[in-house]
Amino acid sequence: MTEQLPSKVDMEKIVSLCRRRGFIFPSSEIYGGLSSCWDYGPLGVELKRNIKEAWWRAVVQERDDIVGMDTSILMHPHIWAASGHLESFADPLVECKNCHLRWRVDELQGNNCPSCGGELTEPRMFNLMFKTFMGPVEEEANVVYLRPETAQGMFVNFQNVLNTTRKRLPFGIAQIGKTFRNEITTGNFIFRSREFEQMEIEFFVKPGTDEEWFNYWLQERLNWYLKLGIKKENLQLRQHTKGELAHYARACDDIDYLFPMGWSELEGIANRGDFDLVQHAKYSGKSLDYFDEETKEHFIPYIIEPSAGVDRSALAFLCDAYAEEPDKEEIRVLLHLHPSLAPIKIAVLPLSRRENLVKLAKEVYADLRRHWMVGYDDAQSIGRRYRRQDEIGTPFCVTIDFQSLEDEQVTIRDRDTMNQIRLPIAELKGTLQAKLEGESLFVLPPGGKIWKEEKSG
């Protein structure tokens, strides 16, 4: 964490909205909860799916130099010896309550964090990895670990991907998946939990080109958040100091976000050099060389790793989208979520529950649902229904009124401007499509403007 600036958003408000509207609940709540584990409710699961979809689209679908994978959570235990996870987490550790760096007690001088001077936790014999047993017998030979990162599954499949896809350097592997860390200090809602999801890329490059690719990925990843609507002033790149760098890393920058508790890591981008492939070649006894057909050289590629958290991204998108706006005598709470992230894209609202109006509204609802996640709400006044949709970030409401029965027209109301347009039902789908999906979200238009709501009449 760097300089602490007061964020505009209060975490309590985000937690309360998430709970009230069904984004996120504490895990095992009726049993009193389970520390730092969370359940994503009906809206939260949509938000998370949309984040993962936007990431996959940007890094796999719209590129021809990255392929996807889905590797297993349980892996051969030697992997964790090769990666350094077994060794580095088996000592008595203390953790800094401020910057969360962990320190081996035997290497500490003084009682405070050597990096930021923060207060330290009590020492504990600590392995960050959750340990379990494979098969019916609980003995040391059957120990396996829940992965603490998705990365290792991709490193050990480097040759498989190379041989089956015929990709040449530079190319990458991308993966989204659950990971588990027995964190010493947790808290700040979904920011730091013990079970979470990561979105990771392992990008293999020729040594010597690594710095260029490292810088490329910093920009690329920063742009991804900007394109999805995160405000520029709430993002910053933070370079790791030499002392902070992990043993394997040649360079590492964090993309920090101004969370309610201050600037904190949203994503880490590391130049891991050849550490991972060298280690796995050594421990497995298999060659993980690359043969460059042009230069006829054998070498071990370097790896650039952009590693992002789905849950931290969800928190950042929620905090950034949250707004309270004056609305006559009241306050309008809304989420300015980018349309591609909004859990519900459209809400269909019949003005009353009169039978013929409901019939038409249900027809429109059924038609739109074939294309998007659509909500339907006929309870209470139309004003209240708009507010309910604003609060969960629904970009458009389609209102069906008595006039609609006569002229077959409906009203679209825009979340951000509250402007409304009236149009024939026959044009509804095409218009919504243009508004929701009109431009490629991941290709910057000339001039670099990312997403702009249309002012409607």
Q: Which region, judged by CB under 6 A, interacts with ligand ATP, from 110-118, 274-282, 304-312, 364-372?
A: 304-312
Q: Which region, judged by CB under 6 A, interacts with ligand ATP, from 191-199, 321-329, 420-428, 437-445?
A: 191-199
Is residue 390 close enough to count as binding ligand ATP by CB under 6 A? no
Nearer to ligand ATP, 100 or 280 (CB): 100
Nearer to ligand ATP, 89 or 290 (CB): 89
At closest approach, how far in Å is the CB of 85 from ligand ATP?
11
Amino acid at 260: P
Query: Minimal CA–CA distance to 316: which of 109, 1, 9, 6?
Result: 9
At closest approach, how far in Å is the CB of 192 from ligand ATP?
4
Number of residues that bind ligand ATP (CB under 6 A): 16
Of 273, 301, 309, 393, the residue at the interface with ligand ATP (CB under 6 A) is 309
Of 95, 183, 390, 401, the residue at the interface with ligand ATP (CB under 6 A) is 183
Is residue 152 close enough to count as binding ligand ATP by CB under 6 A? no
Contacts of residue 129, defined as CB under 8 A and 6 or more positions apart, other chains included, come to: 80, 85, 86, 89, 145, 146, 147, 148, 180, 181, 182
At closest approach, how far in Å is the CB of 386 from ligand ATP?
34
Site string for ligand ATP, 193-212 (x = CB under 6 A): x--x-x--------------
At closest approach, how far in Å is the CB of 20 from ligand ATP?
23
Nearer to ligand ATP, 54 or 368 (CB): 54
Q: For the segment 100-139, give every residue that binds ligand ATP (CB under 6 A).
A: 100
At closest approach, how far in Å is the CB of 383 from ligand ATP?
38
Nearer to ligand ATP, 195 or 289 (CB): 195
- Helix 428-437 and helix 355-369: axis angle, to 10°? 50
Is residue 181 close enough to count as binding ligand ATP by CB under 6 A? yes
Nearer to ligand ATP, 189 or 396 (CB): 189
Q: For the segment 231-270, give every residue that binds ligand ATP (CB under 6 A).
A: 265-268
Nearer to ligand ATP, 185 or 456 (CB): 185
Cα-Cα-Cα-Cα torsion 163, 164, 165, 169, nearest 10 degrees, comes to -20
Of 83, 307, 340, 389, the residue at the interface with ligand ATP (CB under 6 A) is 307
At closest approach, how far in Å is the CB of 176 from ligand ATP?
12
Q: Which region, judged by CB under 6 A, interacts with ligand ATP, from 16-24, 301-309, 349-357, 404-412?
A: 301-309
CA distance 334 to 331: 10
At closest approach, how far in Å is the CB of 456 from ligand ATP?
37
CA distance 325 to 357: 32
Of 54, 300, 308, 357, the residue at the interface with ligand ATP (CB under 6 A) is 308
Nearer to ligand ATP, 44 or 309 (CB): 309
Nearer to ligand ATP, 219 or 433 (CB): 219
Residue showing the smallest CB distance to ligand ATP in the complex: 309
At closest approach, how far in Å is the CB of 364 from ligand ATP?
39
Q: Which residues bind ligand ATP (CB under 6 A)?
A: 100, 181, 183, 192-193, 196, 198, 265-268, 307-309, 311-312
